[in-house]
Structure 1
Amino acid sequence: MGLPVEVVAGLLDAAAAEQDTDLTHLLADLEPADAARVTAGVRRLRATSDRLRRRGQELAALFSSARELAQLRDVDELLARLVERAHDLVGTDVTYLSEFDVGSRELRVRTTLGTVAPTFPGLRVPAGMGLASQVVESRRPCWTARYSAMTQAPHDQGIDETVAAEGLISLLGVPLLAGDEVIGVLFAANRVEHAFSPEEISLLSAFADHAAVVLQTARLLARANAAADETRRAYGELARHVEAMERASEVHGDLTALVLQGGDAADVASALGRALRCRVTLLDTARLDGAVREAVEQSRRSGRCVAAGAGAFAVAVLAGPALLGALLLEQGTVEFGPVEIRTAERAAQITALLSLKQDAMIEAEQRVRGDLLADLLSTDQDRRDGAGARARARGIRLDELHSVVVAAVPAELRRDAVRALRRAGGLVGEHADRVVMLTGEEDPAAAARAVHADLNRALAAPVLTVGAAREADLRDQAEAAGACARILPALGVTDAAVTTDEYLPYTALFGPGEARVARFVRSVVGPVLDWDAEHAGTLLPTLAAYLDHRMSPVNTARALHLHKNTVLQRLDRIGELLGEGWQNPDRLFRVTVAVRLARLADSP
C-alpha cells in the first residue's frame, strides 16, 4: 500500500495536532480496513504526542519552580507559586498544602488555591485523623474517589464538616519528605468523584518534593537566623557584661581608695554616679517619702537593690537592723543590669562602713569633749583646772565659748540630742540629767534659740532650752539654767527657748543655795504640809487656789469643782493649823510666796 507524500504529510500533521482532525478526505482512496488501521495509528501517535507535550509542560513547570527555589526569598510566596502550578497542571478543583508539626503531630493547612469556605485555610487536622494522617503515617501517597465513603482512615467531625462545606469529594494527598521525616502533605481535590491516575499521582509527588525542599530550607534558614540572632545577642550580652564588669572594677577600686583615704558617704555616691553614669543621691531617713520610702523598706528587709519607679532604684544603707539612710540611683545612659545592681548594693555596704567609721570617730571625740565638759562643771577645782589644760591641748579655746545652754530632754532622747548638736561646734555633753552645751554665741537668748531649733528638728519633740551668759563661774551658771529648766514646766512652759534672766526671781530662788528656800517654806506653811502628808493631801492645793482667786471661796470652789461648804471647811482647818492672823497683809504675803514656792518645789 503506497500513499502519496501529501497524504502522509497530512496524517503526520493530524497526529501532531492538539485536537482531533477529520481524516476522511485523506483516506478516501484506501480500503475501509486500511483506513481504520491508519486512523488507529494516527490516534496512537496523537496520544503519545499529547503525553509528551504534557510531560514537557510538567518538566517546564518543575524546572521553573526549581529556578525560583534557587532564588528563594519569601517562603510563603514560593509555596503559593508551587501550589498554583500544581493546581494548573493536575487540573483539580482545589489544591492545598498542609504543614506537619512534629511536637503535636497535627497538620495545619498553610497554602490553598481554589477554596471558597472561610474555615478551610488554617484548618488543623488532629493526629491520627483523616486522609492526611494516613499519608503521614504511611509516608506514601494516599487517595480516595469519595471521601465520605472512605474507610481506610478514621473520620473527624470537624474535618468532615469543613470538607463538606468546601464541597470536596475526591482527594489525593502526597507526603512532603525531608529524608525520612514527613514535614507536610500536598493535596489535590475535586468536587466530583474522580479516580486519580498514576500520572497525576507522580506529577503531584514531584511538586511535593519541591515543596518539601522549600519547607525544609525555610526551617533551616529560620534555625540559622535564630542561631545567628542568638549569637549576636550572646555577643552583645557578653560585651555588655564585660563593660559592666569593668565599671564594677572601677567602682571597687574607687571605693577601696575612699576607705583607705578616709572618704565619706558623699564621696561614695559621687564615685558610684561616675561609674554607672547616673545620678546618685544620698538620702537620710528624714528624706524618705512615697515610692522611695516603700522601696527603701523593701530593700531594708531583703538587703537588695529595689526598683523605686520611673527608672530609679533604691538601696538601703544598713548597719545590722539600723537604717542609716539610702542611696537613690536615677538611671542615666547605662542600663541597669545584675552587675550594676550588685555594684549599687556593694556601694551601700561601703557607705554603711564609712558612716559607722565616721560616727565612731565623732562619738569618740564627743566622748572626750563630754568628759571635758563634765570636768568643767565639777565641784572639784583640780578637775576644773585640768580640764582647762586639756581643752588647750585639743585646740579648744574656752575663752571663746560665751554662753551655756541647758536643754531639758527625755532620758531616751538625750543621746540623739547630743549627736544632733555636734555639728554646731563648742562642747556638748550630759550633766545632771540635762543636755548642756557651751557655745561661741555671745547672746545667750540667740544661743538658746539655735539649740532649740536644732533639737526640735532632730527629735521632732517639744524641747525646753535655757540659755545663760558665761560669767564668773561656769558651774553656777549651768546650775542656775538647770534649775530654771526644772521650774518652768510648772509654769506651763515646756517648748521654748528662754534665758535665766527672763525668769530671774525663780532662778534666784531655786539656783545655788536653794536650801534656804526650803527652810523658809517649812517655817511659814509647815503645819499645812504635815497635815497633807498624813491625810489626803488637799489643804495646800486648796490654799493655792484660794490665793489665786483673790481669796473668794465661791471662785475657789468653782475652780476645784467642789461645793462651797467643802472649801470653807478646808479653810477653817488651814486657819487652825496656821493660827490666828494668817490673813494679815504681811503674813499673807509670806504665806502666798511660801505656797507658790512649795508648789514649784514639787514640780519635776
Structure 2
Amino acid sequence: MSATIPVDTVVALLDAAAAERDVDDTEIRDLLGDLDLPADAAARVGDGISRLRGGSERWRRRGRQLTALFSSARELAQLRDVDKLLERLVERAHDLVGTDVTYLSEFDMRTRELRVRTTLGTVAPAFLGLRVPPGMGLASLVVERRQPCWTSSYSGMTQAPHDAHIDATVAAEGLVSLLGVPLLAGEEVIGVLFAANRVEHSFSPEEISLLSAFADHAAVVLQTARLLARTQEAAEETRRAYGQLARHVEAMERASEVHSDLTTLVLQGGDTTAVAGALGKALRCRVTVLDADLEGDDGSRRDEIRKAVEESRRSGRCVTLPGSGHDVVVAVVAGQTFLGALVLEPGAVEFGPVELRTAERAAQITALLSLKQDALVEAEQRVRGDLLADLLSDDPQRRAGVTQRALARGIRTAELRTLVVVSLPAEHRRPAARAAGRAAGSGGLIGEHADWVVALTCETDPAAAATLIHKAVRRAIDQPALAVAAELDAVPRDVRAQLEAATACARVLPALGITDAAVTSDEYLPYTALFGPGETRVATFVRNVLGPILDWDATRGGNLLTTIGAYLDNRLSPVAAGRALHLHKNTVLQRLERITELLGDDWQEPDRLFRIGVAVRVARLSAPHRG
C-alpha cells in the first residue's frame, strides 16, 4: 500500500534535516503526524531524516575543520622564525583537536632521540624538554611506523616498550589517552605532534585524520622555515666570510706597505725610530721602541712589560700586555742577544694574525738595524778609542796631530772639559765603555786605557760628569763601579797629568772602603797626596798609628776610636766631646786615660797628634763603607 506525501511536507522535512540550528525529534514527529502514514512508514521516514541530519552535521563540521586547517596553514606559512613557528603550530593543533594537552617532539636524526620542544596545556615543569630514547614509548612507535599511533590508556599500552622516566613524567602530567602523528618531510621524520587527554578517550577516525592533515601541512611549513633559516645562516656566514676576506685583503695590503717601507729603510740606512714610524703609520697605532734596559716607556708598567718580553723572547711571537686591553709587546732579538722590544697600542685597526705577524717582522728588521747601528757604534768606538790612546800616550809622535784627527770625527778637543776614570773588573770594561760613550754623547772620547775606562767629556762640572758616567755604567753592568772625575784646563796639554791624579785617587779610595761611587779627585786630594797610588799604604799607616786602639775596640767592644774622634773634632775639650757623645765628662776623661795607656803619654804632642788625627779621619771615613 503506498502513500503520498505533500510536497510542502517533504520540503519542510528536508529543511529540518539540513538546518544548521538544533532540530529536535518532536518537530519531525509533528510534521509526520500531520500525514496519514502507517507507523512503520513514518518510522522509516524519521530514520532517514535522522541519518540525513547526521551526515549534514558531519559535513558542516568537516567544512569548518578544513577551513580552520587551511587558515592555520596560511598563517603558519607566513612565519619564518622556527621557534615561533613551533609555538604557533602547537597552538593551532590544540585549537583544532580540542584535547587537554598538545605538544611537539623534535626528532634528532643523529641520536635517534625525540625531545619535547613545545607544549600547550602542560603543568609539570619536567615535561618540556623530556627526552625519549630510541625505540621507547608511543613517540618512537610513530617514528618507526611513520603513521599515526594512539592509545586510550597509556599506562596499559602494550604496543610499545615503556620507559620508567617517561612513565613518571606522563603520570606527573596526568595524561591518559594520547594520539601521535608524524611530521614528515618526504621520507624524513622531523618530529611527532601529540594530542593528549587526562581521561580515557578513544580517538575517532576524524580526529586522527584531522590531526594528520594538519601535521602534513605543518611539516611542509616547518621544513621550509628550517631551510630558509639555514639559507639565511649560510648567507650570513657568507657575508661574514666576505667581511673577513675583505679585512684580510686590507691587512695584507697594509703588510705589503710595511714590508716595502721597511725594505726601503734597510737599504737607505734608517734607524729603529724610522721603523716604529713606518709600522705605526701602516697599522694606525702608536709604537714605542724600548732599548735592552726596557727604557723608553713611562715606567708605570715596567714589570708587566718585562714579563711579556720574556714570553715573547721564548716564543718569538707577539704577546698581549696584561691589564692594558689590547697592547702588544714583541721582543727584538738577534740570535741569543736581546736588543729591546716594540710596544704597540692599537688605534683604528684591530690587531689580527696578519697585523701581529707584521709586527713580528718589524721586530726582525729592528734587530737587523740595531745590529747595523751597533756595528757602526763599535767601529766608531774603536776609532775614538785609538784617538784617546794616542792622546794619553807617552810617545810625542802619537800625540802629534790628534787634534786634527779628532776634528775629522766631529770632536773638538778644546771643548773637552772633564776627564772621568772608571775602576771596575776587566770583564765589565767593554760594556762599560759603550755605556759611557752613549752617556758622553758624540762630542766625547771614551775607551779602555790600561786598567781603566777613561772618558773625556764636554761637561764643565766634574761632579756632574762623574755622576752621569757612573749612572750609565751601573745601569749597563749592574755591578759596583768607581768613577773619579778631574777638571781639564787644556787638551791635550794637561790630560796625562789629570789622568794620573784621577787614577791615584781611584787607587786610594778602595782602601777607604769606597768602591761604588761618583767623586772628584779634588774631594780626596789630601789622602791622595799623603798615601800616593798604593792602597796598602793607607791600611799600613792607620795600623801603625792606631793599632792599640783598634785592637782594644775589637776585643772588648769599646768605643775608644769614636771617643778620640769626638775629642779631636771638639778642639781637645773633654766637656764638648762628652756633649757630642751624650756622655758625662768623667766618662770621657776615663776613656782618654785608657787611650794614654795604649798610645803613650806623648800622644797629644803636635807632630804625633797630627798623624793621629789623619789616621782617625781615614779610619772613620772607611768604616761606613765597610759596614
Q: TM-score, normalised by structure 1?
A: 0.83
Find the partner of 2:203 among 196, 203, 212: 196
Map of 2:496 onto structure 1: 475
Superposed displacement of residue 49, structure 1:
0.7
Change (3 A) 1:353 1:541: closer
Determine if contact 1:443/1:469 at 8 Å carries over to the other structure.
no
Find the partner of 2:396 among 367, 372, 381: 381
User: Does residue 371 of structure 1 match 2:386?
Assistant: yes
User: Does residue 238 of structure 1 match 2:245?
Assistant: yes
Map 1:28-427 → 2, pairs under 5 A = 28=33, 29-284=36-291, 285-287=293-295, 289-309=302-322, 310-385=325-400, 387-423=402-438, 424=440, 425-427=443-445
| Whole-angstrom distance in 2 between the partners of 1:90 and 1:504 | 115
Amino acid at match of 2:552: R
Superposed displacement of residue 185, structure 1:
0.8
| Whole-angstrom distance in 2 between the partners of 1:232 and 1:563 | 88
Map of 2:8 onto structure 1: 6
Map of 2:505 onto structure 1: 484
Change (3 A) 1:114 1:17: farther
1:334-363 Cα offsets, whole Å, 9 max, x none, are: 111101111111111111111111111011
Determine if contact 1:268/1:351 at 8 Å carries over to the other structure.
yes
Superposed displacement of residue 501, structure 1:
4.1
Determine if contact 2:138/2:149 at 8 Å carries over to the other structure.
yes
| Whole-angstrom distance in 2 between the partners of 1:338 and 1:103 | 36
| Whole-angstrom distance in 1 between the partners of 2:476 and 2:154 | 90
1:488-547 Cα offsets, whole Å, 9 max, x none, are: 221333344444444445555777xx89x99xx9xxxxxxxxxxxxxxxxxx97884352
Amino acid at match of 1:33: D
| Whole-angstrom distance in 2 between the partners of 1:64 and 1:214 | 13
| Whole-angstrom distance in 1 between the partners of 2:467 and 2:458 | 14
Determine if contact 1:14/1:21 at 8 Å carries over to the other structure.
no
SS in 1 for 2:504: helix
Superposed displacement of residue 8, structure 1:
0.8
SS in 2 for 1:109: strand
**Bigger shift: residues 272-281 or 426-435:** 272-281
Determine if contact 2:446/2:455 at 8 Å carries over to the other structure.
yes
Amino acid at match of 2:336: P
| Whole-angstrom distance in 1 between the partners of 2:133 and 2:167 | 12
Map of 2:545 onto structure 1: 547
SS in 2 for 1:25: helix
Map of 1:16 onto structure 2: 18
| Whole-angstrom distance in 2 between the partners of 1:86 and 1:394 | 98
Determine if contact 1:315/1:328 at 8 Å carries over to the other structure.
yes
SS in 2 for 1:421: helix
Superposed displacement of residue 224, structure 1:
1.0
Map 1:499-510 → 2, pairs under 5 A = 499-504=520-525, 507=528
| Whole-angstrom distance in 2 between the partners of 1:17 and 1:160 | 47
Amino acid at match of 2:429: R
Find the partner of 2:31 among 23, 26, 38: 26
Determine if contact 1:68/1:78 at 8 Å carries over to the other structure.
no
Structure 1, unmatched stretches of 5+, are 522-539, 565-581, 600-604
Change (3 A) 1:101 1:373: same
Change (3 A) 1:592 1:229: same
User: Does residue 429 of structure 1 match 2:442?
Assistant: no
| Whole-angstrom distance in 2 between the partners of 1:333 and 1:454 | 38
| Whole-angstrom distance in 2 between the partners of 1:398 and 1:113 | 100
Amino acid at match of 1:253: S
| Whole-angstrom distance in 2 between the partners of 1:111 and 1:595 | 102
Amino acid at match of 2:469: V
Superposed displacement of residue 316, structure 1:
0.9
| Whole-angstrom distance in 2 between the partners of 1:38 and 1:594 | 153
Map of 1:465 onto structure 2: 484
Superposed displacement of residue 114, structure 1:
3.3
Q: Provide the aligned C-alpha RMSD in A.
A: 3.4
Change (3 A) 1:543 1:272: closer
| Whole-angstrom distance in 1 between the partners of 2:112 and 2:83 | 21
| Whole-angstrom distance in 2 between the partners of 1:55 and 1:504 | 125
SS in 2 for 1:171: strand
| Whole-angstrom distance in 1 between the partners of 2:86 and 2:467 | 89
Determine if contact 1:96/1:113 at 8 Å carries over to the other structure.
yes
Map 1:555-566 → 2, pairs under 5 A = 555-559=549-553, 561=555
| Whole-angstrom distance in 1 between the partners of 2:144 and 2:546 | 113
1:408-436 Cα offsets, whole Å, 9 max, x none, are: 12323222221122232311001111011
1:92-141 Cα offsets, whole Å, 9 max, x none, are: 33332221121222222233333333333332222211000000011111
SS in 2 for 1:24: helix
1:247-280 Cα offsets, whole Å, 9 max, x none, are: 1111112211211222111121122111111121
| Whole-angstrom distance in 2 between the partners of 1:5 and 1:595 | 158
| Whole-angstrom distance in 2 between the partners of 1:31 and 1:105 | 67
| Whole-angstrom distance in 1 between the partners of 2:509 and 2:99 | 111
Superposed displacement of residue 227, structure 1:
0.5
1:10-54 Cα offsets, whole Å, 9 max, x none, are: 211221135443221111221101101101111221122122112
SS in 2 for 1:132: helix
Superposed displacement of residue 586, structure 1:
12
Superposed displacement of residue 447, structure 1:
3.8
Change (3 A) 1:181 1:229: same
Map of 2:514 onto structure 1: 493
SS in 2 for 1:561: helix
Change (3 A) 1:546 1:165: same
Amino acid at match of 2:515: T
Superposed displacement of residue 159, structure 1:
1.4
**Bigger shift: residues 268-277 or 225-234:** 268-277
Amino acid at match of 1:545: R
| Whole-angstrom distance in 1 between the partners of 2:471 and 2:98 | 99
| Whole-angstrom distance in 2 between the partners of 1:283 and 1:430 | 28
Map of 2:597 onto structure 1: none
Change (3 A) 1:88 1:21: farther
Fraction of identical pairs, as percent: 67
SS in 1 for 2:411: coil
Q: TM-score, normalised by structure 2?
A: 0.80
Amino acid at match of 1:409: L
Map of 1:578 onto structure 2: none
SS in 1 for 2:184: strand
SS in 2 for 1:327: strand
| Whole-angstrom distance in 2 between the partners of 1:446 and 1:111 | 84
Superposed displacement of residue 594, structure 1:
14
Amino acid at match of 1:166: E
Structure 2, unmatched stretches of 5+, are 296-300, 559-601, 620-627
Change (3 A) 1:556 1:231: closer
Superposed displacement of residue 463, structure 1:
2.5
| Whole-angstrom distance in 2 between the partners of 1:374 and 1:443 | 24
Superposed displacement of residue 384, structure 1:
2.1
| Whole-angstrom distance in 1 between the partners of 2:243 and 2:285 | 21
Determine if contact 1:480/1:510 at 8 Å carries over to the other structure.
no
